[in-house]
Structure 1
C-alpha cells in the first residue's frame, strides 16, 4: 500500500468517523552501511525506520496518533487513538492545520542511480579507501574505521485543507578516521565526503589522502608559551564554534528567555563582515528541501546581514507569537517527533581570501584545526568558551610546526565582532557550515616556556 493510497483511505474513514480536519506526516529512512577493518568487513548494517503520525479535529478538539505500518489495519488504530485523546487534549497556539503555501520551489531530482547502488560496491570502495591510506604513508599505524553509507529518505505531509508536500532524497557518504605514529608521537586524522547524484563523484583516494595528510601533519606537536595570539579557526573548527551558539538564533529559545540576542532585532550584533545565511534551496547540498516539517515553503534568508540581526528562525507557532510569518524553519526529528526550530543549510557567507592567503598575513599566531571538550567548555548563555585545541604555529606568514596541549579562550559575542577576515574555503557538509575565519588575538594557554 503506497502512502497516497493510505492517505486517501485514512481521510475517507476519518471523515466517516466525524473528524472535520485531518493531517498525516509520513517519514521513512532506509540505510545500508558497511565498515571495514584491515580489509575485512567489520560491520554490515541494513536499517529501515519510519511511520506515520495523524492528527485530526473532532468536536473542536485535536487528537493525535502514530503507526509504524502503512496498511489498512493501521487506519482504524490511528483513528481510534486520535479520537480517544481528542477528548482530553487542548489545541495549542500554532497547532492548527496549515493549508499550505501559495507556491513551492521544485523538488531536487531523485537519484535512482544512488538508490540502486549495491552493497558490494560500497564494500569495494571502502576497501580501496582503507588500503590507499596504508599505502600513502608508512606512519599510518591504524585505520580505526572506514565506512560507506547509502541513505534513502522520504517525507510526505498532507492534510484535508489542501496541503500536499512530498520529498524523496538519496545520498551516499564515505570516510575514514586513522592514527599515525612516527615512533615518538601519535596523531589522528579523518576525512569524509558525500554525493547526492552519482557514485562516481566520490573520490576515495582523495578522501584517504586528506585524512593521512591531516594525521601526519600533526606528528611531533608540542605546546607553546601562554599568551595572546591572532587565531585562524580552520573551516571545521569555525563551524563547530558557530554551531554551538546556533540555538540562540531560534525564536523558540528567544521566547523562552534563553538567548542573549533577545530584543536585538535590527541591531548590530556582529562585525560588518559577518553574514549568516540559511538557504534550504542551495543546489547540491544535503539540506536542500522545498518545505519545512509543517509544510511551509522554505526560502533563502539572511539571519544576520553585515553584522545586523535581521530575523530569528521561526516555525508557525513561534511566528504567531511574535506576530510575523514563519521563516520555514520548522523541524521534526521523525514521525513521532514534536515540532521545533532549526536550520536546514545555514552558513557564514565566505570572503575572497584562501586559507593560505590568510596565514600569510600573520607574523606570529595559531591555526586551530581541532577543538575538544565543547560540551563542557562552552557557556552558550554568557558566550564564554575555553576549549582544548590542536593546531599549528604560524611565524612570518608560514606554518612552522604543529602544536597541542593548548587551550583557547574567549567570548563568542566578542569574537563575532572581532573577525578580521572570512575565508573563501566554504565546504558544505551538514546543516551548519563556516569557512575559515581569522580573528583578533585570543588568550591561548600552553605549558611551554620560551
Structure 2
C-alpha cells in the first residue's frame, strides 16, 4: 500500500464517522560512522518511517501511531478510541492550509549522493589530524548525515510536504596531564564542501593541548566571554521561557513581560524558519501552520511568545508556526551578530575568562526561575590575551539578569541544533573557584 492509498482509506473512515482527521508522515534516513583510538567502532546506515494519525471530534484529539501501511482501519479506530481517555479541558484544532508559506527550497540530498568511500574519508581525515600529537591519549571522530521527508494532510484541505537534512561531524581529543584534558570541535552544513574535517580534527587537538596545565582561579565576580558554543547551551533556557504554553501554565518567568525590557540593548534574537548556517529549516510547523520570521527580543525588549494553534486561540493572537509535536519550540533561535570578531572580544574583555564548556545544564539550570549553577572550563585572559587553561570552577547566576549584563556581541556566528549565535561578552558573572 502507498501513502496515498493509506490516506484515502483514513479519509474515507473519517467521513463515515463524521470526524476530521490529520495524517503526519515522516521518513528519516541516517548515516553515521565513528572512529575511536585508531579503529572504526560504529557504523550505521538505516532508514525508517512513522505515521501519526490524529482524529478530531468535538474539540478533542485522539492519536495513534504506526510504522507500516498495513492496517489503516486499526490505526483510525485506535485514534478514535483514544479520544475517550483525554482528560484535558482544552479545545484542539486543525489548520486548513490557508496563509502564505515561505519559499524554502527542500534539501537536495547532497550528502546522500556522495559515495560511501568519500563520506568515510571525512571521519578518517579528522581522526588522522587529531592523532598527530603524541600527547594525545585518546581520540574520537564522528561523521554523519541525515535526511527527513515530511508529509502533512488533513480533511480540511491541508496538503503539505517538505524535505530537509544535512551533514555533521565532530572530533574529540584527550591530552596527557595530571588530569586528562579533553576538547571537542564540530561542524555542520547542508553542503559537503562546507565541512572541513582537517580543521575539525586540528581544533579539537589544539584546544586539548592548550588546556594542559589548567588550574583554578579565586572565587569572585569576573568579566567573561561566553564562547558561542557555551552561549548556545545557556541560551537554550530561553526556548522554554518563550513558549506561550509555559506562560499560560505559569511556568515561564517572562509571563506578563511582553514589551518590557528584559535584556541589554545590545541583544536581539529572532526565530527564523531558515538560516544559511543551519540544517533546521521548514516552511510549516507540525500542525501545518506557515512559519515566518519573528523578532523575539528586539534590542533588549521582549516582543513575542511562540504559539501553536491552541495557545494562540487562548491568547487571541495569530499562531506563529512553532508547534513541534506536542511542544512549542523555535525553529532557529538566532542572535543578531555584532561588529567584533573573537579577537576583538578578547581585547574588549582585557582581563577575565573565556568560558569554553559548561556541564550539568539539565540538573543545574532551571528554566522556570532562570537560575543556573554549572561546572565549567575556561581560558584565563590577561591584557586581551589567553594565558592558560582554567579548571574546577562553577559559574552561577540568573539567566535574565545575565542577559542584562551583555556588554558586547561578537560576529563569530555558528549554528547549533536549533540555535545560531556568536560569542557574547558579559560584564559580570559569579565564578566559584578552588584557590
Corresponding residue pairs, total: 435
The corresponding residue for 1:346 is: 333
Map 1:215-234 → 2, pairs under 5 A: 215-234=208-227
Could you tell me whether the CA contact under 8 Å between 1:32 and 1:119 is conserved in 2? no
**Corresponding position: 1:328 with 2:325:** no
> Which stretch of the first structure deviates more once superposed, 109-118 or 434-443?
109-118
Whether the aligned pair in 1 keeps the contact of 2:271 and 2:296 (CA below 8 Å) is: yes
3-state SS of 2:200 partner: helix
TM-score (norm 1): 0.90
Q: Indicate how the Cα distance of structure 1 residues 362 and 130 shifts in structure 2: closer, same or farther if over 3 A, else same.
A: same
SS at 2:307 equivalent: coil
**Taking structure 1 as reference, are residues 46 and 296 closer, same or farther at Cα in structure 2, changes over 3 Å only?**
same
- Unmatched tracts of structure 1, length 5 or more: 333-338
Aligned position for 2:281: 288
Q: Distance in 1 between matches of 2:197 and 2:340?
A: 28
Aligned CA distance change for structure 1 residues 254 and 87 (closer, same or farther; 3 Å) = closer
Would you say the 8 A contact 1:350–1:425 is kept in 2? yes
222-231 or 413-422: bigger deviation: 222-231
Q: Structure 2 unaligned segments of length 5 or more: list them.
A: none
Measured after TM superposition, the shift of residue 184 of structure 1 is: 4.3
Q: Does 1:440 align with 2:427?
A: yes
Separation in 2, partners of 1:398, 1:299: 41
Superposed CA deviations along residues 263-307 of structure 1, whole A, max 9, x for unmatched, are 111111111111111101323521211000100000011111111
Does the residue aligned with 1:112 lie in a helix, a strand or coil? coil
Q: C-alpha displacement at 1:412, in angstroms?
A: 1.6
Q: Give the TM-score of the pair, scaled to structure 2.
A: 0.93
2:185 — aligned with what?
Answer: 191
Task: Give the conservation status (yes or no) of the 8 Å contact 1:29–1:50.
Answer: yes
Q: Distance in 1 between matches of 2:104 and 2:71?
A: 29
Q: CA deviation at 1:442?
A: 2.0
Distance 1:397 1:202 in 2: 30
**Greater Cα shift, 374-383 or 414-423:** 374-383
1: CA distance between counterparts of 2:91 and 2:117?
A: 48
Q: Give the direction of change, closer, same or farther, for the CA distance of 1:19–1:119 in structure 2 (3 Å limit).
A: farther
- 2:7 match: 7
Quote the residue 2:294 is aligned against: 301
Relative distance call for 1:367 and 1:284 in structure 2 (3 A) is: closer
- 1:75–1:443 CA distance, 2 compared to 1 (3 A): closer
Distance 2:4 2:102 in 1: 21
In 1, Cα distance between equivalents of 2:141 and 2:398: 36
- Take 2:60 and 2:366, find their aligned partners in 1: how far apart are those partners? 41
State yes or no: 1:251 paired with 2:244: yes
1:142 aligns with 2:138: yes
Aligned counterparts of 1:203 and 1:139: Cα–Cα separation in 2: 23
Aligned position for 1:335: none
Kindly indicate whether the alpha-carbon contact (under 8 Å) linking 2:130 and 2:171 is maintained by their aligned counterparts in 1: no
Task: Tell me the SS of whatever aligns to 2:415.
Answer: coil
Equivalent of 1:429 in 413, 416, 421:
416
Q: CA RMSD in A?
A: 2.2
- Give 1:81 deviation, angstroms: 2.2
Take 2:200 and 2:164, find their aligned partners in 1: how far apart are those partners? 23
Equivalent-residue separation in structure 1 for 2:397 and 2:420 (angstroms): 21
Q: Deviations over 1:190-212 (max 9, x none)?
A: 11112313x23321111111111
Contact 2:110 2:190 (C-alpha < 8 Å) held by counterparts: no
Cα deviation, 1:329-348, whole Å, max 9, x if unaligned, reads 1001xxxxxx2101110022
Match of 1:158, SS state, is strand
- Residue 55, structure 1, aligned to residue 48, structure 2: no
In structure 2, C-alpha distance between the alignment counterparts of 1:158 and 1:132, rounded to whole Å = 48
Residue 150 of structure 2, aligned match among 134, 144, 155: 155
